[in-house]
Amino acid sequence: MRRLRLEVAYDGTDYHGWQLQPGLPTIQGVLEEVIGQIEGRPVHVAGSGRTDAGVHALAQVAAVSLENPIPPDNFRRAVNRLLPRAIRIRNVSEADPEFHPRFEARQKTYEYRIFRGEVCSPFERLYVYHHPYPLDEAAMMEAAPLFEGEHDFTAFAASDEKDRLGRSKRRAIFRSVMSHQGEILLYRVTGSGFLKHMVRNMVGVLLEIGKGNLKRGDLLARFEPGCGVAPGPAVPASGLFLVSVEYAPNDSR
């Protein structure tokens, strides 16, 4: 048995997220079906983490164990021939038999794209949040780094079925920056891990600061224990991309 590491890009528009859900189209479900055809038996494709319905990925990391001796590049070509056009395997490499893309991930980077122009191209509409209305963008850019550091992100996380396990919602954010790229107001964040809807709620709070409805102190108050503020408002999933997942040099050898 061998372990393969996969780098996967996908357009999440028509999918109910990464995680397998009976009766619903998901990225994991499609990959397991296609790779299972090549392997000739059911397979499990493990991902670095869940992306929600409608969220995209430039380089999600996944892994699968196979008996098939097919070389990595040939495997990539074979899988891509069978996959729908919205999902593509960008790279395949041999991995350590114990490699797990979620447990060994050191950090992840997401970006959120807000289109600020008056007219959004129909060819961009599925990959941005169109917000052409007045915003204090300077205030948003100044507030973005307030997320950096280790904080309790309970007030930025949607309820999750795993909440009953009582796991900590403290996360470390290494970099949080908002900038302009043409007509796109781009938010990019790198952290040790992310909770359900966390990035979308973070961007939603930054937007409220841009609208003048919140101040930087309101953002900081959400890190206080028992702040009692409900998460949100969450921005739409269409503008969110998983950009990269980083590992220690030998984690997937």
What pLDDT, on a 0 to 100 scale, did the predictor assign at position 66?
Answer: 96
What pLDDT, on a 0 to 100 scale, did the predictor assign at position 251?
Answer: 54
CB atoms within 10 A of CB 237: 19
What pLDDT, on a 0 to 100 scale, did the predictor assign at position 167?
Answer: 75
Tokens, residue 201: 């709620």
What pLDDT, on a 0 to 100 scale, did the predictor assign at position 96?
Answer: 94
What pLDDT, on a 0 to 100 scale, did the predictor assign at position 253?
Answer: 46
The answer to whether residues 197 and 158 touch, using CB atoms and an 8 Å cutoff, is: yes
Residue of 73, 96, 2, 77 lying closest to 34 (CA atoms): 77
**HSE, side-chain direction, 13 A CA sphere, residue 112:** 26
What pLDDT, on a 0 to 100 scale, did the predictor assign at position 16?
Answer: 96
**Annotated catalytic, 14?**
no
What pLDDT, on a 0 to 100 scale, did the predictor assign at position 237?
Answer: 96
Active-site option among 11, 14, 52, 218: 52
What is the CA 200 to chain-centroid distance, rounded?
10
Three-state secondary-structure class, residue 241: strand
Domains of the chain, first to last: 2-104 (3.30.70.580), 107-245 (3.30.70.660)
The answer to whether residues 60 and 18 touch, using CB atoms and an 8 Å cutoff, is: yes
- pLDDT means per 10 residues, the chain with 253 residues, are 97 96 95 97 96 96 96 97 98 95 96 97 96 97 97 87 71 96 96 94 97 94 85 93 91 49
pTM over 0.75: yes
What pLDDT, on a 0 to 100 scale, did the predictor assign at position 161?
Answer: 64
